Amino acid sequence: MEWSIQEIAKIAGTTSRTLRHYDDIGLLKPSSTGHNGYRYYSQSALVQLQRILLLRELGLGLPVIAQVLDREQDTAEALHGHLGWLEQEQNRLGRQIASVRRTIKAVEGGENLMAEEILDGFDHTRYKDEVEERWGKDAYAMGDAWWRGMGQDEKQAWKQRAQKLGSDWIAAAKAGIAPDSEAAQELAERHVEWLQDIPGTPAAANGQNGVNSGDIKGYVTGLGDMYVADPRFGANYGGTEGAMFVRDSLRIYAELNL
């Protein structure tokens, strides 16, 4: 069975123009072409399209997607990897959904909830002792005040930014790119910019209170080491291997730029 390019574009929520572009760059070839020039796609082509869409969802560009598809010839094995990432995202969102549902039920029914139930999945203070030990009480106090001073929309935007950064790191690690590659270094730059937006950190202090670049360099490389050493942090990057990729990428970026 085959589907026309118009049918596939509608089902996939994309456009015929996009699918033609995928064909032009060799990313997704149609299974056949009719005498009228229309492209048609078989089930195997749709599986390939599913993989492309999943990788796009992870934030990868088309050139990197082409490399991943070329390297990962075992489709079933590759999809297992995608499934693992999706399940991780599902688990994270599931905790937040359950927390909000419990809160709604409690509010509507006049019930009482434990704080842990209300804030499950949203607790930004769980690393308080570690932050104070590593960077001082002022660092935590400034960051905590900054967070509590945000509106809900600002907090949501910040969470989405952090989650997108984490998922992009996971995608890059799964793609097998080198830590010194352009794509990995662009991620490292985004990561440092993200750190610089958090008040109280050595990164944020640089240029404002006379802290030299060596402090940022040590801070960034130290965080990379912590991502690997502590599974709680490593989980944000897909586990130990992903955390090692982040650490190595940040270390290279710090050596070259900080």
- Overall fold of domain 3-71: Multidrug-efflux Transporter Regulator; Chain: A; Domain 2 (1.10.1660)
Q: CB neighbours (10 Å) of residue 255?
A: 10
Nearest CA to 242 out of 219, 222, 220, 224 is that of 224
Can you read off the two tokens belonging to residue 191? 């990561």
Residue 149 pLDDT exceeds 90: no
Nearest CA to 194 out of 227, 164, 172 is that of 164
How high is the pLDDT of residue 85? 67
Task: Tell me the pLDDT tens digit for each residue of 85-130.
Answer: 677 667 767 777 877 787 788 778 777 665 555 455 554 444 455 5
Task: Tell me the pLDDT tens digit for each residue of 150-206.
Answer: 777 777 787 888 888 989 999 999 999 999 999 999 999 999 988 888 776 666 654
Can you read off the two tokens belonging to residue 52? 């492309």
Enclosing H/E stretch for 48: helix 43-57
**Average pLDDT, whole number, for the chain?**
78
**Single-letter amino acid, residue 228:** V
